[in-house]
Amino acid sequence: MALLQLAPKGLYRWYAKCCNTPICNMVGNPKFSFAGFLVANIAEPEALGPIRFRYKSEQALEPVSEPSGSMIGFIARTVRAIAAERFSGRWKQTPFFGEDGRAIVKPYVLSEAEREKAYSQPS
């Protein structure tokens, strides 16, 4: 596993170092226990639990069989879930951060020139 940040205080993007395959994005603070997984890159996505929201389903590689839900509903459920994790202490049970609150690997932070190059390339 490797870790990339677009900016010093930017989101974390975890990826497979061997092939640069993105795995998930998350806030760089373990107290916000939320990760957005790129399910197309997961061999057994059912191990992640039920999908709670689909973002940009029109860009899916295969047809999406169920509605995406609303952004407002997604935000409300996410805020509620993060609050529950905070109050219960479950936010500490993460494979991404150590007991000291730091990521398990040092993030590579893109330079301004690297960011500009990344944003200028077609997706």
- Confidence band for 55, pLDDT divided at 50, 70 and 90: low
Rg (CA), the chain: 16
State yes or no: pLDDT of 123 exceeds 70. no
The answer to whether 23 and 42 are in contact (CB under 8 A) is yes
Residue 91 CA to residue 84 CA, distance in Å, equals 9
Predicted confidence (pLDDT) at residue 54 exceeds the cutoff of 70: no
The pLDDT of residue 39 = 78
d(CA 82, CA 88): 10
Q: What average pLDDT does the segment 32-49 reach?
A: 81
Alpha helices in the chain (DSSP H): 71-88, 112-120
* pLDDT (mean) for 7-33: 88
Entry pTM:
0.73
Using an 8 Å Cβ cutoff, are 16 and 23 in contact? yes
Return the pLDDT at 46.
Answer: 85
Do 69 and 75 form a contact (C-beta atoms < 8 A)?
no
Of 1-10, 48-57, 106-115, the least confident: 48-57
Arithmetic mean of pLDDT over the chain = 83
Which secondary-structure segment (H or E) carries 12?
Answer: strand 12-16
Q: Tell me the residue type at 94.
A: T
Query: CA nearest 42: which of 18, 21, 17?
Result: 21
